[in-house]
Structure 1
Amino acid sequence: MPSTELKHTFRIAAPLEEVFAHLAEPSHYVGLSPLVVAVRDVRRDGGTVHYTAVERFRFLGVLRHDNLIDVTLTAVPDGLPHTADIVGEVRSPARVRMNYRFTIDRDEAGSVVTDTLRLRTPPGLLHFAASQAGAVQRTRARVLTDRLARPA
């Protein structure tokens, strides 16, 4: 299957532990991606969480399609207090596969987050999936920064 890797790094004025806790909770992904409108069927198994995310697509501004995707998320706090990782896998019914990693590093002003996505798609879908994923990465950085912003 064709594949590509996307990487986006951004700073956030929140401590590593707070960013890690936020990204380790499935319900917080609603709105982190403009496509994810719900999270359901959350099952925890130690440090690994399995859940279904509902991605909502609109076509022509009228037609709605809810895409149910299976997500596995593992929060790895091994490097605390200096770094932590959240890794996972997404499986879409359209045979789009995505492995992801959030690496969160402590920074004097808060944290630096590196959001890495590895996409695999059936032939013909890679460009579309990569453009959607890149837009989601940029939105996720903005929304996460706004959510965890410290009042001045």
Structure 2
Amino acid sequence: MPSTELKHSFEIAAPPEEVFAHLAEPSHYVGLSPLVVAVRDVRRDGGTVTYTAVERFRLLGVLRHDNLIDATLVAVPDGLPDSAEVFGEVRSPARVRMRYRFVIDRHGTGSAVTDTLRLRTPLGLLRFAASQARAVQQARARVLTDRLTRPA
């Protein structure tokens, strides 16, 4: 299967503990990824969380398609308060597979976040899937920054 890796780093004026807590909770991915409109069937087993995410696509601007994807999330707080990781895998019915990893490091009073996606797709889907994943990755940085740095 064709594959690619996408990496995006950004800084956020929130400490690693807050960024980690936000990324470790599946319900926070609603809106964090602009395509994810719901999270359901959350199951916890030790440090691993599995759930179903509902991605909503608009086809031709009008037709709505809800894509149910299986997701796994593992949150590793071992280095807190200075660093932590959240990683996992997403599997869609179209056989698109994505492994993701957020590395969160203390940077001054805030955090530096590196968001890495490893994408594998069936032949012919890589360019489309990578463009969607890149757009989500860029938006995720903006949304996360807005959520965690807005005034209380």
Q: Same fold, TM exceeding 0.5?
A: yes
Partner SS, residue 94 of structure 1: coil
How many aligned positions are there? 152
Aligned position for 1:132 = 132
Aligned position for 1:19 = 19
**1:108-119 superposed matches below 5 A:** 108-119=108-119
Aligned position for 1:41 = 41
Query: 5+ residue gaps in structure 2?
Result: none
Q: Distance in 2 between matches of 1:80 and 1:109?
A: 14
Q: Distance in 1 between matches of 2:54 and 2:35?
A: 8
Q: Distance in 2 between matches of 1:139 and 1:12?
A: 14
Offset at residue 150 of structure 1 (A): 4.7
Q: State the 4+ residue runs in structure 1 displaced beyond 2 angstroms.
A: none
Tell me the C-alpha RMSD between the 2 structures: 1.0
Partner SS, residue 148 of structure 1: helix
Q: Distance in 2 between matches of 1:103 and 1:126?
A: 25
Aligned position for 1:70 = 70
Structure 1 contact 14–150 (Cα < 8 Å) conserved: no
Identity of aligned residues (%): 84
Offset at residue 141 of structure 1 (A): 0.2
Offset at residue 60 of structure 1 (A): 1.6
Query: 5+ residue gaps in structure 1?
Result: none
Q: Distance in 1 between matches of 2:127 and 2:137?
A: 15
Structure 1 contact 95–121 (Cα < 8 Å) conserved: yes
Partner SS, residue 32 of structure 1: coil
* 2:27 alignment partner AA: S
* 2:130 alignment partner AA: A
Q: Distance in 2 between matches of 1:101 and 1:9?
A: 12
* 1:35 alignment partner AA: L
